[in-house]
Amino acid sequence: MENIYDVAIIGSGPAGLSAGLYAGRARMNTIIIEKEKAGGQIVTTEEVENYPGSIEDATGPSLIARMVKQAEGFGAKRIKDTILSIELDGDIKVIKGEKEEYRAKSVIIATGAKPRQIGCPGEKELTGKGVSYCATCDGAFFEDFEVFVVGGGDAAVEEAMFLTKFARKVTIVHRRDALRAAKSIQEKAFKNEKIDFLWNSEIVEIKGEGIAESIVVKNRETGELTQLDADEEDGTFGIFVFIGYMPQTELFKGVVDMNERGYIITDANMKTNIEGVFAAGDCRVKSLRQVVTASADGAIAATQAEKYIEDKF
């Protein structure tokens, strides 16, 4: 007899794993499909301090390992596969992967989002070791250190101001000669004595042995390269990159409703415009993208999927 799952969860970051935990605990036949390793963005974080109840010295990988164990403990099945196409109309949803085809009564999309990267040498190797894409997550680790913020839009300038709560100096590195942020936000930044600016500049390399120790900055007008080293007493500094996010929703374009940036639109119960299809975590429209909000989304989505199945089937 063909196996039809109660719920198929696409993605195994905090939202997907939380959904798997709640779905499994509700005795639903649950599958979690992930194309790579579990965890999403949080697995690149060395320390996790702002997740409620995090144990001492918790890391992104250790937190995800516990989430995986919990979800599997309640019976959620995890599969590694790359989804090629989806058919979400009808009572039974069809998900076609490279390895096999999956059928389910409901689907939870938890594919997340990825921050845009600078794309320079050293960035990938030093992510979580000085390079960050989340001021809320990592700002406190740079108490009284110097930090650089890459970007010039609303998010970059707002996060730069947030980082002044911790860092002794914040330098905004921007490719142009003027910020793109709203004028009201710019005015606050210009008045902040802790914030400095590197105009017409871009970081072309990040250097360090196991931790960020210097950056090479290129002046886009003159082509001049300048190496900026961390203070000798500090030994390191922070590089926070805010040049946008990319929701991992390409597969669902034209299928579920999205905003102009590609984030999936849901209501407060994580419902999309398609009956029986939910979205959770960073891939949906929301004001705060953190592990705690992704986990909450997953719990709500799974609970709503359970109610949907009870009413529908």
Which residue from 214, 179, 176, 215 is spatially nearest to 195, judged by alpha carbons?
A: 179
pLDDT, tens digit, 9 for 90 and up, residues 173-224: 999 999 999 899 999 999 999 999 999 999 999 999 999 999 999 999 999 9
**By the 8 A CB rule, do 50 and 122 touch?**
no
What pLDDT digit, counting tens, does each position of 12-56 carry? 999 999 999 999 999 999 999 998 777 676 766 666 777 888 766
Statement: residue 77 has pLDDT above 90: yes
Looking at 134, 282, 283, 297, which residue is catalytic? 134
pLDDT mean over 276-305: 95
Q: 16 in helix, strand or coil?
A: helix
- Give the per-residue pLDDT at 188: 94
pLDDT above 50 for 309: yes
| Set 81, 137, 282, 283: catalytic member | 137
Q: What is the pLDDT of residue 45?
A: 64
Arithmetic mean of pLDDT over the chain = 93
Q: Is 138 exposed, middle or buried (0-12, 13-18, 19+ CB in 10 A)?
A: buried
CATH superfamily, domain 4-115+245-312, is FAD/NAD(P)-binding domain (3.50.50.60)
Confidence of residue 136 (pLDDT cuts 50, 70, 90): confident
If you write DSSP's letter for every residue of 28-83 in order, what string do you get?
A: --EEEEESS-TTGGGGG-S---SSTTPPTT--HHHHHHHHHHHHHHTT-EEEE--E
Q: In terms of Cα–Cα distance, which of 131, 187, 196, 190 is closest to 168?
A: 196
Residue 260 clears pLDDT 90, i.e. is over it: yes
Domain regions of the chain by residue span: 4-115+245-312, 131-241
Residue found by looking up tokens 């144990």 in the block: 55
**301 three-state secondary structure:** helix
* Annotation marks residue 144 as catalytic: no
> Per-residue confidence at 1, pLDDT binned at 50, 70, 90?
very low
Which pLDDT band holds residue 61 (cuts at 50, 70, 90)?
A: confident
Given this model, what pLDDT does residue 47 score?
67
Q: From the candidates 81, 138, 282, 297, which is the catalytic residue?
A: 138
- pLDDT surpasses 80 at 160: yes
pTM higher than the cut 0.75 = yes
Mean pLDDT value of segment 235-239: 97
Known catalytic residue: 6? no
Exposed / middle / buried, residue 50 (Cβ in 10 Å: 0-12, 13-18, 19+): middle
pLDDT, one tens digit per residue, over 242-253 is 998 899 999 999
The verdict on whether 89 is a catalytic residue reads: no
Decide: 132 and 240 in contact? Cβ < 8 Å.
Answer: yes
List of E strands, 208-244: 214-219, 225-229, 238-241
Does residue 21 sit in helix, strand or coil?
helix
Q: In the predicted model, what is the mean pLDDT of residues 78-103?
A: 96
Report residue 77 as tokens. Answer: 């099945």
If pLDDT is split at 50, 70 and 90, which confidence band does 58 have? Answer: confident
Q: For domain 131-241, which CATH number applies: 3.30.70.100, 3.50.50.60, 3.40.50.300, 3.30.479.10?
A: 3.50.50.60
User: Band of the pLDDT at 295, cuts 50, 70, 90?
Assistant: very high
Domain 4-115+245-312 and domain 131-241 have a common topology = yes
Q: Which residue has the tokens 């203070």?
A: 231
First-to-last alpha carbon distance for the chain, in angstroms, is 18
d(CA 256, CA 265) in angstroms, rounded, equals 8
